Amino acid sequence: MKISRKALCLAYGLLAVLALVGTWGNNVQYLSLGFLGANLRFWQDTLANPASRSITVDVLFLFVAVSIWMFLEARRLGMRGAWLYVILGVFIAISVTFPLFLLNRERALQRQGGEAKGGQLGTVEIAGLLLFALVGCAYTVAALSR
């Protein structure tokens, strides 16, 4: 199935919003500690158990790989502000800023006269992605209801 750039932009925007709700719905609990205290407690809490340590290491290394790609892609497409996505990824969440980068990347490709189609996905790929998104939404609801 061909996916339009507009559909991709909508999907990326929705992912950014869901990620913001999911991450900051939990992060607000740290805000009363002030900037330094919140950061100290947050990172201490990521060491709580093997699962939290595993997912934190996973996200940190994914963050580095994604950042490298964003810098290279931004330079290739003449996009400005790649550092902004990375810095805001540290302070907000990379799961929020990366989809925003992808949204703006689609816009940059469109401006360059790129193909009007965003690409192709098979039915199984779409179903799998929707399943992952539903799992993410269910986990977010469970995490925010604690």
> What are the beta bridge partners of residue 120?
2
Give the position of tokens 């302070």.
91
pLDDT band at 115 (very low <50, low <70, confident <90, very high): low
Reported residue count of the chain is 146
Instruction: Provide the number of structural domains found in the chain.
Output: 1
Average pLDDT score over residue span 130-137: 94
In sequence order, what are the residues at sequence separation of 6 or more whose Cβ sits closer than 8 angstroms to the Cβ of residue 116?
4, 5, 110
User: What does pTM read for this prediction?
Assistant: 0.89
Rounded to the nearest 5°, which phi and psi values hold at 3?
-110, 125
Token representation of residue 75 = 């330079």
Beta strands in 5-137, from DSSP E residues, in sequence order: 117-120
Range of the domain at 97: 2-144
**What is the Cα–Cα distance from 20 to 52, expressed in whole angstroms?**
19
pLDDT digits (tens, 9 = 90+) for 119-129: 788 899 999 99
Of 55, 35, 54, 52, whose CA–CA distance to 44 is shortest? 52
